[in-house]
Chain A
Amino acid sequence: MENSRKKKKTVTRRAFLQSLSGGAVGAGVASRVLGKEPRSIQSGPGEMEVFSSKRIALTVNGKKVGFETEPGETLLQVLRDRLRLTGTKRTCNRGECGGCTVLLDGKPVYSCHILAIQAEGKDILTIEGLASGDKLHPVQQAFIDKDSYQCGFCTPGFIMSSVALLDKNKQPSLDEIKAGLSGNLCRCGNYQKIHAAVAAAADAMRRG
């Protein structure tokens, strides 16, 4: 794991699946495979550290938090169950819908598909850390101004993906907005207003 982490700057879905030896998909599998005693197992491209529980520290919204984590515990579980940062939603819990999107060193990731230990040493930004005090991030303000939510459940994930998109691309076209948000699903079907919010936020951010 250490090696692959050094080689790759972020944990991709592909790398994560490969690290679980291809077929073993899903975070719950890890704990069953690994057992209680610390040991090492050969798992495809790299070697995986095995433990029953481990103390780690995460940097979440600029604050360092330390806690015991268990193998197989996802970043989503840690954010919600341990840190009570419930703005990150458990929606599909299988890496398909983007409802649990957070930024890991500025890159959008599905927190249900990343183990907590994989996020160690990285900057994690959740929806709760986006505003500065009472001042909303321009993307948050644009979602209000454009009425870009219905039930509002997928909204935090969409906002985090939008923030990441606008960080890379200051003036995205509609097609680029759609591509940037293609990993997020809205079941109410509010896409047009979401796209309008991202365009409005881009304008606002360019104006400063």
Chain B
Amino acid sequence: MKKKHLIEDPHLEYMELAQNPGSQTAASQQPSAQPAAEFKHIGKYTPRIDGKKIVTGTAQFTQDLYVDGMLQAKILRSPHACADLVSIDLSQALSYPGVKAALKLKEGRIKWAGEQIAAVAAVDEKTAEEALKLIKVEYKVLPHVVSEEKAMEQAAPLIQDQGNVQKSNEYNRGDIEKGFKEADIVFEQTYKTSWEVHQTAETHSSLAKWDGDNLTVWDSTQAVQSVRDGLARALSIPASRVKVIKHYMGGGFGSKLGLNDHTVVAARLARETGRPVKVVLTRQENSYCVGYRPSARMTIKAGVKKDGTLVALHFKNYNCGGIGRGDRCAEPTTDVYRCPNVKVEEYSVFVNTCGSRATRAPGHTQGTFGLEGFMEELAARLGMDPLELRRKNYSAKEKGDTGNPYSTKGLDQC
């Protein structure tokens, strides 16, 4: 079949492309480029349209919004990492002057210190804070575990019925045993990364306002649509009745992707009181209630030839993201360098802390730290220049030179 050219033949049909994926060819000639000096925008400085608002302090972030009749809410959180909730008594808080509503937010098993227990909406933040102290909560405190090593022990309290250590990822390419047999040198190292909290400059905040059956939420969020859909599900109302607005956000770094629990609280308290309700988390709440980058404990074992050629790579990782599954960190190892025999085993270790959350390149940050630290040490072990070792195993395609070509990479040009 004659190959058609996409640029020369703009009528190439989609179905034909789908049925014969090789039927297109690369461009036969470079399109003629305009000289850079003639560009109108590229390479030229363009001031941000919101610059003046930012430098004059008139850019309104969620915490800066004050609307008529607005109440402020505060959330009572569990001081215990593991407990059964026996009872919550809101009566004294409800009768505190200035308090307009209070909600119970939890029943059953508490799995991390910081879980929402109850909330109060009051005329101002200080009143809400004082009222929180009047909420009586009875807990049946249970044994907990927050250390990853202890969680892996036989006697550790169970965070999940299926066990505190669960397989979260596996991958095989080639034959790892054969690879190690072919190797002149086998080298192994372990790399650990710790938890890392996003600590956005603006703490997570939401302002909720009902207009009849329609809800408007101003949220400090990276994802207005998913907050809208999450609110609709949480409140059992159609998404068409929810509008989520974000004008300015003081940093997110992944911790403001998706709906937050306190946003639902603001919406529920606003519905109950018939008034707008704002929740602004404190710096302390931002430190332990809205996620973090999970830890990793990566053991990398490589089989190499004397000249530095990788013939086997084994990546074993225990990642810990509290009550969540943590990140998969293997992709740099499976992808970046050419190696025919690769094996990956990753496990999630569960402990009694808030679940981890996406943090700027989830999994890749930990995985790249492990892999590139390993390449440095491997180069030293081989007596090789670290850049030379990387060039030696350079891969132009993902999946260790077996997948799709990289659009940009450039390590070979170093």
Interface residues of A (CB under 8 A from B): 70, 80-81, 84-94, 97, 99, 126-128, 130-131, 136, 140-141, 143-145, 147, 149, 151-156, 159, 185-188
**What does the 1/0 interface line of B265-285 toward A look like (CB < 8 Å)?**
000000000000000101100
A184 to chain B, nearest CB (A): 11
> Known: A147-B45, A151-B250. Contact between A156 and B57, CB under 8 A?
yes
A-B CB pair tally, cutoff 8 Å = 99
- Which of A89, A94, A97, A130 is the most central at the interface, judged by chain B CB atoms within 10 Å of its CB? A89
Residue in A86, A88, A94, A128 whose beta carbon sits within 8 Å of that of B283 in the complex = A94
Cβ of B403 within 8 Å of any chain A Cβ, yes or no, is no
CB neighbours (8 Å) of B55 from chain A are 127, 136, 140-141, 143-144, 149, 155-156, 159
Contact A90 B57 (CB under 8 A): no
Bound together, the chains give a CA A90 to CA B200 distance in angstroms of 12
Contact A187 B201 (CB under 8 A): yes
> Known: A143-B55, A151-B250. Contact between A89 and B283, CB under 8 A?
no
Main secondary structure on chain A at its contact with chain B? Answer: loop
Bound together, the chains give a CA A82 to CA B391 distance in angstroms of 62
Bound together, the chains give a CA A86 to CA B248 distance in angstroms of 13
Residue of A nearest to B50 (CB): A152
CB neighbours (8 Å) of A97 from chain B are 201
Q: Given A86-B64, A87-B58, A151-B250, 8 other A-B contacts at CB below 8 A?
A: A86-B57, A88-B57, A91-B250, A136-B52, A141-B55, A144-B52, A153-B248, A154-B201
B57 to chain A, nearest CB (A): 2
Contact A153 B251 (CB under 8 A): yes
CB neighbours (8 Å) of B283 from chain A are 91-94
Residues in B356-391 with C-beta less than 8 Å from chain A: none
- Which of B47, B124, B200, B251 is the most central at the interface, judged by chain A CB atoms within 10 Å of its CB? B251
CB neighbours (8 Å) of B51 from chain A are 143-144, 149
Cβ of B260 within 8 Å of any chain A Cβ, yes or no, is no
Contact A149 B54 (CB under 8 A): yes
> Known: A84-B66, A187-B251. Contact between A89 and B201, CB under 8 A?
yes
CB neighbours (8 Å) of B280 from chain A are 90
CB neighbours (8 Å) of A156 from chain B are 55, 57
> Known: A91-B202, A144-B51. Contact between A152 and B282, CB under 8 A?
no
Residue of A nearest to B198 (CB): A187
B67 to chain A, nearest CB (A): 11
Bound together, the chains give a CA A94 to CA B251 distance in angstroms of 19
A196 to chain B, nearest CB (A): 12
Residue of B nearest to A88 (CB): B57
Bound together, the chains give a CA A155 to CA B60 distance in angstroms of 13
Bound together, the chains give a CA A70 to CA B126 distance in angstroms of 11
Contact B63 A90 (CB under 8 A): yes
Bound together, the chains give a CA A96 to CA B199 distance in angstroms of 13
Bound together, the chains give a CA A34 to CA B250 distance in angstroms of 35
CB neighbours (8 Å) of B47 from chain A are 144-145, 147
CB neighbours (8 Å) of A99 from chain B are 201
Cβ of B48 within 8 Å of any chain A Cβ, yes or no, is yes
Residue of B nearest to A81 (CB): B124
Contact B56 A131 (CB under 8 A): yes
- Which of A94, A130, A144 is the most central at the interface, judged by chain B CB atoms within 10 Å of its CB? A144
Residue in A86, A147, A187 whose beta carbon sits within 8 Å of that of B200 in the complex = A187
Cβ of B139 within 8 Å of any chain A Cβ, yes or no, is no
Residue of A nearest to B47 (CB): A144
Residue in A130, A131, A151, A185 whose beta carbon sits within 8 Å of that of B202 in the complex = A151
Contact A89 B45 (CB under 8 A): no
CB neighbours (8 Å) of B249 from chain A are 151
Residue of B nearest to A134 (CB): B52
Residue of B nearest to A80 (CB): B64
CB neighbours (8 Å) of A88 from chain B are 57
Bound together, the chains give a CA A84 to CA B66 distance in angstroms of 8
Cβ of B61 within 8 Å of any chain A Cβ, yes or no, is yes
Cβ of B59 within 8 Å of any chain A Cβ, yes or no, is yes
Residue of A nearest to B205 (CB): A90
A130 to chain B, nearest CB (A): 7
A-B contact pairs, 13 of them (CB 8 A): A81-B125, A86-B57, A86-B61, A91-B283, A99-B201, A127-B55, A136-B55, A147-B47, A149-B48, A149-B55, A152-B59, A159-B55, A187-B201
Bound together, the chains give a CA A171 to CA B60 distance in angstroms of 33
- The 4 tightest CB contacts between A and B, nearest first, are A87-B57, A153-B250, A127-B57, A86-B64
Contact A155 B52 (CB under 8 A): no
CB neighbours (8 Å) of B282 from chain A are 93
B359 to chain A, nearest CB (A): 13
CB neighbours (8 Å) of A126 from chain B are 57
> Known: A86-B64, A147-B47, A147-B48. Contact between A128 and B201, CB under 8 A?
no
Residue in A131, A145, A188 whose beta carbon sits within 8 Å of that of B251 in the complex = A188
Residue of B nearest to A90 (CB): B63
Bound together, the chains give a CA A84 to CA B54 distance in angstroms of 16
> Known: A93-B282, A187-B199, A187-B201. Contact between A153 and B56, CB under 8 A?
no
Bound together, the chains give a CA A130 to CA B55 distance in angstroms of 10
